[in-house]
Structure 1
Amino acid sequence: MQCQAKLIMMLPCPEFQLALSSLFRKEDGWVFSSEEEKEFGEFQKDLEHLHWCAVLKLQSPLPKARYTLDVMDSAGLVKGSTLFACGSPFGSLYPDIFLNTISKGVLSNTAGERNVVLLTDARCLPGSEGGGIFLYENGTLHLIGIIVAPLFWKVNEWVGLTLACSIGHIINNIMKALRKADIPVKSELAALGTGSHIVDRSKRGAGPSQHMMASAVLVDSGQSWGTGVLVNAKLVLTCRHVVKHSSKVSVKIHNAKMKSGGGNAFKKFHTVRGEVVFSTRESSPYDIAIIRLDEEIPGIPEPVLASSYCAGEDVCIVGFGALGERCGPSITSGVLSSVISVDGDPVMLQTSCAVHGGSSGGPLFALQSGELLGIVASNTRDNSTGATYPHLNFSVPVAILRAALKRYVEFGDLRSFGELNKAGLAVRDVWRLQRSPENVFQSKL
């Protein structure tokens, strides 16, 4: 069915613009336009235009919907909530094929006043702009946001997330505009703000994803930063390349219940110094480091270390990739794509979660059991083009660390970690991600 529509008004969402300018700084190399649009200079003024919305009026009314669609306020949304994205990629070219294409993911992160900025790992393509982000709950479909940018990059690295603006903020700005302008459909637009369509979803109790996110920390070596996971109140697991060659690092814990400066405001992060007590050699295929904190972090649930793996199970990765500490850790969902074993023992885990720069060292969790499966080591890069693939990534299984961690916690003995430096040729071959060029064609990885 095709309908004609008339443009009623264009209006900005200043709250969205303010959050964007704080979150996505130009000097960090963010780009929101597609490869084709980069040829046109006007499209490079991304942050100046992303906060503008258009209101259209259909010339002919649609048939009554067979379901109830509510507008949900985004302030109470919880990271890790299951979301659906609906858009029409390339719809103007082939609407019979692409119209109302649905994608599923989770709420990866939020930012700004009352969560005006929404980030989801539900995969969208160019042409999805203006489509909806939905939460389905108790038999009702709730519209929570409008897709603003289905794809974006940081320093030429595809982030693998979709950017959306809270629909509640858009409606509030429509209401403000109605007070100042005489618009033909003013009464119809005013109905949006009556409250009968707006659901204020209060925050629920911390679900499994909240406990998972509480164990993720930001690790700053002074030269670079990445992610780590608290395995107990004083011990952090991360990657060797995150700590570099530092002996001391700063570990930042998000939402620690500690007040700043003796006042009533809570710190966004609590910073603790830590000592790098072990780091694998550069020659080791296992990219692992152990950090002992100078003080205990109370109230952090210790993750259960997995002892077995099931390819195809639902998983998630928590990390400070791309956005760093500006809005806390991000969560991305997917499946455990492959478990690579050598002599019957798992040595590498592959997932379809979105992983980008800064996620290294972050935890990989099983969604159903909540067990810690592994430590994120890398995503995939095509060395011939420089392109990265965030949804193809690799983690070190915690199964190979269990015995060494237990011995260190009980006896303070680090010698068992030294076995990570003695991995055989078969393990090294797996983690090289490419065979010798004289034997087979060289991989692009």
Structure 2
Amino acid sequence: MGRHWGPAMRVAEQVGCVVSASWSGQPEADSWSCSGVILSRSPGLVLCHGGIFTPFLRAGSGALTAAGAAFLPGDSCCDDLRLHVQWGPTAGSPAGCAERARPGLCTPHCAALKPSPPAGPHGRPLLPPHPAELLLLLSCPAFQAHFARLFGSEAAEQWRFARAAPDDEVSEDEEEDQLRALGWFALLRVKHGREEEADECGPAAAVAPLGAVPKGAPLLACGTPFGSFCPDIFLNTLSRGVLSNAAGPLLLTDARCLPGTEGGGVFAVRPGGELVALVVAPLCWKAREWVGLTLLCAAAPLLRAARAALGRLSPDAASLAALLPPEVGAPWGLPLRDSGPPWAAAAVLVECGTVWGSGVVVAPRLLVTCRHVAPRETARVLVRPTTPKTAKIWGHVVFATQETSPYDIAVVSLEEELKGVHMPVPTKHFHEGIVASNTRDKNTGATYPHLNFSIPITVLQPALQQYSQTGDLAGLRELDHTAEPVRVVWRLQRPLAEALRSKL
């Protein structure tokens, strides 16, 4: 699979761009920006996130949630809206070659930082921003339906799909606007100069059909962190990940994205580098904890909605529908509706009060999770299995390690058996490497992102087997009495030096 990263990266960088919106005559006073995908170069068509347009809507953000609102024409925004699109030089295009030979245009934020002509991520000058017009705002009905079903209940109050952290100052109106625009996108037409009209014709990228990429397949996300703040450095930043989960066109990936990458493209890692989805929300918060997943909208149904909307606008707009990228390729592996490999069903969601985390089923009525998820013995917990996703089973904590123990382990006994779950077979050996997560050095206060220790199942298996057969917790209690070297390593401390011996 590694040999396919190159083609996917080239496609991603060639169609990635950044979009900025501002008031006429006030380009720097109040501006909003996001990432986008170039769908066609002549004429220039760009798809980006719709959240940056909420300040310009004549009827306010409520127009996005009006009954039957699947799309809004461009004149739904104020006349003094000004749009600009910026991208890097396209390999092989006349305009790109010409731009590489002359100084580029730096953003005002970067102009004061360095006097030399700005260069993109590959050392080539960026193309100057091009003016653009808004053709329409659109949403994917299927995405909206799945999002409402999954996040529209009372439990959704614990989730936050904003561009700021929970502690940042964001007004209720701003947060409501962001939530309303979450699944909305914008189709723009770039106003090229005459010398650029004949540079390149046809779609800039192909689109993967819905269901063409299986769960667990590698993906490549391409967006511009912080939008138009400093594209000289951040334009078309790449992030690797996998398709973590899917519900219809609502997709999740563990590719790490940042604010400003909304609207950026996510591509399949295979020779064609097809466009799979667009970034909806790069940061998700639940119960004031950051979740390292990015919410996506599949590109195929979104572009189908765009074709339908263009056909209803005007004859001129309808002619643009034929220029949108086609869906190519046969389904690749398992469809998105598949429940995944058998071992995936052994993973469950564990909720203990307001605390939540994952767990692993080790027996029909027994699962293992972390102590910090279920810290109190006898505490009642709610378990949600993968299939069916609506199922709920109650259980109680029969064992939790002490807080001083380096083994962050809790064992939960379920009130009912989990049916249809393939019980994992514990391995007898394990390979050393490291689980990606966060850890903190208590001595220095430093946090090391994406680093943590894993607990081999070989350490837990004898004690779990003893409890399953006899109900005896003695083996599990031993986890609270580990040797000092293990405790030292877990605290990120140096091993204690051996005491010096006298030569006398």
SS at match of 2:208: strand
Q: How many pairs are equivalent?
A: 354
Cα deviation code 1:195-222 (max 9, x no counterpart): x534462652899973342110223445
Structure 2 equivalent of residue 84 of structure 1: 220
- Is structure 2 residue 311 aligned with structure 1 residue 173? no
- Is structure 2 residue 405 aligned with structure 1 residue 352? no
- Is structure 2 residue 345 aligned with structure 1 residue 214? yes
Cα deviation code 1:277-328 (max 9, x no counterpart): 43333443322222344436445141433633333xxxxxxxxxxxxxxxxx
Q: CA deviation at 1:83?
A: 0.5
- Normalised to the residue count of structure 2, the TM-score between the two structures is 0.59
Cα deviation code 1:157-193 (max 9, x no counterpart): 3322222222122212212212321053422323438
Contact 1:10 1:52 in 2 (8 A): no
CA distance in 2, matches of 1:434, 1:383: 9
Q: 1:62 to 1:162 in 2, by over 3 A?
A: farther
Structure 1 equivalent of residue 143 of structure 2: 16
- Is structure 2 residue 407 aligned with structure 1 residue 286? yes
* Unaligned 5+ runs, structure 1: 256-266, 312-335, 337-350, 354-378, 436-445
Q: CA deviation at 1:62?
A: 7.5
- Is structure 2 residue 386 aligned with structure 1 residue 254? yes
CA distance in 2, matches of 1:279, 1:286: 10
SS at match of 1:251: strand
Query: Larger radius of gyration, structure 1 or 2?
Result: 2
Q: 1:398 to 1:304 in 2, by over 3 A?
A: closer
Q: CA deviation at 1:33?
A: 1.7
Q: State percent identity of aligned pairs.
A: 39
CA distance in 1, matches of 2:426, 2:200: 50
Residues 302-381 of structure 1 mapped to structure 2, 5 A cutoff: 302-305=424-427, 307-311=429-433, 336=434, 351-353=435-437, 379-380=438-439
Out of 231, 245, 250, which is 2:377 matched to?
245
CA distance in 2, matches of 1:123, 1:229: 25
* Unaligned 5+ runs, structure 2: 1-88, 90-126, 495-504
Which residue type is aligned with residue 266 of structure 2? I
Q: 1:398 to 1:133 in 2, by over 3 A?
A: same
Structure 2 equivalent of residue 424 of structure 1: 483
CA distance in 1, matches of 2:430, 2:256: 29
Structure 2 equivalent of residue 69 of structure 1: 205
Mean alpha-carbon deviation: is it higher for 154-163 or for 117-126? 154-163
Q: 1:5 to 1:186 in 2, by over 3 A?
A: farther
Residues 223-234 of structure 1 mapped to structure 2, 5 A cutoff: 224-234=355-365
Contact 2:377 2:398 in 1 (8 A): no
Which residue type is aligned with residue 399 of structure 2? F
SS at match of 2:214: coil
SS at match of 1:391: coil
- Normalised to the residue count of structure 1, the TM-score between the two structures is 0.66
- Is structure 2 residue 162 aligned with structure 1 residue 32? yes
Cα deviation code 1:377-430 (max 9, x no counterpart): xx446999x998763444333232133234445565432222112123343344
Q: 1:100 to 1:123 in 2, by over 3 A?
A: same
Structure 1 equivalent of residue 320 of structure 2: 188
Contact 1:240 1:289 in 2 (8 A): yes
CA distance in 2, matches of 1:78, 1:130: 22
Contact 2:221 2:264 in 1 (8 A): yes
Q: 1:38 to 1:199 in 2, by over 3 A?
A: farther
- Is structure 2 residue 327 aligned with structure 1 residue 197? yes
Q: 1:67 to 1:102 in 2, by over 3 A?
A: farther
Structure 2 equivalent of residue 133 of structure 1: 266
SS at match of 1:416: helix
Q: 1:433 to 1:74 in 2, by over 3 A?
A: farther
- Is structure 2 residue 473 aligned with structure 1 residue 414? yes
Cα deviation code 1:107-164 (max 9, x no counterpart): 12333xx2x2222111223332322001123x21111111233334335433222222
CA distance in 2, matches of 1:43, 1:238: 37
CA distance in 2, matches of 1:155, 1:251: 17
Q: 1:61 to 1:43 in 2, by over 3 A?
A: farther
